[in-house]
Amino acid sequence: MGFLDNFFPSASGKPERNTFARDFEIVEVKDSKGRIRKKARYTGTWIVFRNPGAARKVMPCSLVLSALLAGLYIGTLLLKHLVSGQVIVMFPLLAGLMPLLYLLMGATSLPFRGKPMRQDQYMHSFIRMSRSCTAVAACAVLTLVVTVGYRIYTGNWQFFAEDILFMILCAVIACFSIGLILLLRSVDFAEMPNSHVPYEQSIF
Calpha distance 124→181 (Å, rounded):
15
By DSSP bridging, strand 24-30 and strand 189-192 are: unpaired
pLDDT (0 to 100) of residue 199:
58
Q: Give pLDDT tens digits for 38-56.
A: 777 788 888 888 888 888 8
Q: H helices of 79-186, where?
A: 87-95, 97-108, 119-122, 128-154, 161-185
pLDDT of 155 over the 70 cut: yes
Beta bridge partners of 42: 24
Mean of pLDDT over the chain: 83
pLDDT (0 to 100) of residue 181:
94
167 against 87, higher pLDDT: 167
Range in 32-36, 136-140, 174-178, 191-195 the model is least confident about = 32-36
Under the banding of pLDDT at 50, 70 and 90, the label for residue 190 is: confident
Calpha distance 69→59 (Å, rounded):
15
pLDDT (0 to 100) of residue 112:
85
Domains of the chain: 51-190 (1.20.120)
Q: Give pLDDT tens digits for 128-137.
A: 999 999 999 9
pLDDT of 10 over the 50 cut: no
Instruction: Give whole-number Cα distances, 149 to 89, 96, 146, 152, 157, in Å.
Output: 9, 19, 5, 5, 11
pLDDT of 83 over the 90 cut: no
